[in-house]
């Protein structure tokens, strides 16, 4: 099945580059381009792409606001969003993921990583650039204790195996990789993920990872 992608970036050369990379993939097709946040919102709602690839800083609405409107907590039928940005803008990682983004990449990511992020988002997985993950952990380490304590605690405590699965998700591992790491079947991984999402009120893997960070389960190295 072909993965339909919408690109939104106010720089024409960036849109062209992203389109060339993605259209070169046999299983990915770019179905639309937007030059600002308002157009991105309109096209996303009309085209209903499998994955939206949004820049953070755009005219009209920024990428975080568009992501929130398309994939936020109050959206009944959220779209899969991957946010892209530059090195000097990754202070927005937390906001983008909180808004519902399934992935976060830097604009210098190679074609392979870009395509992988799109495929992961389409499959319901999450992909965050490794260097961004390090910065994200660092940012959380600087949060005050009161801010971390605001993370909701589950009514039913997590099992030991669920804790193990949660940590692998927070490290960006795919379902297949988790199955290999923990020596369990793929269906068992999916069962644990469903249980985690139910207990934590999370809608996707990224929200599971964010909860792991916020509750100090992923301490910085």
pLDDT digits (tens, 9 = 90+) for 118-147: 998 898 777 776 666 655 655 655 554 555
SS3 61: coil
Q: What is the CA radius of gyration of the chain?
A: 17
Mean pLDDT over each residue of the chain, to the nearest integer: 84
Q: How far is 103 from 88, CA to CA, in rounded Å?
A: 18
pLDDT tier for residue 153 given thresholds of 50, 70 and 90: confident
Q: What residues does CATH 3.40.50.2300 cover in the chain? A: 3-139
Once rounded to an integer, what is the mean pLDDT over residues 162-182? 87
Contact status, residue 169 vs residue 44, Cβ threshold 8 Å: no
Contact status, residue 207 vs residue 195, Cβ threshold 8 Å: no
Q: What residues does CATH 1.10.10.10 cover in the chain? A: 144-214
DSSP 88: G
- The fold of the 144-214 domain, in CATH, is Arc Repressor Mutant, subunit A (1.10.10)
pLDDT at 31 over 60: yes
Class of domain 3-139: alpha beta
């Amino acid at each position: 099945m072909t993965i339909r992608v919408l690109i939104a970036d106010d720089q024409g050369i960036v849109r062209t580059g992203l389109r060339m990379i993605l259209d070169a993939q046999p299983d990915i097709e770019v179905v639309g381009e937007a030059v600002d946040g308002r157009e991105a919102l309109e096209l996303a709602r009309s085209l209903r792409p499998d994955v939206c690839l949004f820049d953070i800083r755009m005219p009209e609405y920024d990428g975080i606001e568009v992501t929130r409107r398309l994939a936020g907590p109050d959206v009944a039928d959220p779209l899969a969003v991957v946010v892209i940005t530059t090195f000097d803008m990754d202070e927005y990682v937390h906001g983008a993921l909180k808004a519902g983004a399934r992935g976060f990449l830097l604009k210098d990511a190679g074609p392979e990583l870009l395509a992988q992020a799109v495929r992961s988002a389409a499959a319901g997985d999450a992909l965050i650039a490794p260097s961004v993950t390090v910065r994200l952990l660092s940012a959380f380490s600087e949060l005050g204790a009161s801010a971390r304590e605001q993370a909701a605690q589950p009514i039913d405590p997590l099992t030991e195996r669920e804790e193990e699965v949660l940590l692998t998700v927070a490290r960006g591992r795919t379902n297949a990789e988790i199955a290999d790491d923990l020596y369990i079947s793929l269906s068992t991984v999916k069962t644990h993920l469903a249980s985690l999402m139910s207990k934590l009120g999370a809608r996707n893997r990224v929200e599971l990872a964010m909860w792991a960070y916020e509750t100090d389960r992923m301490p910085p190295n």
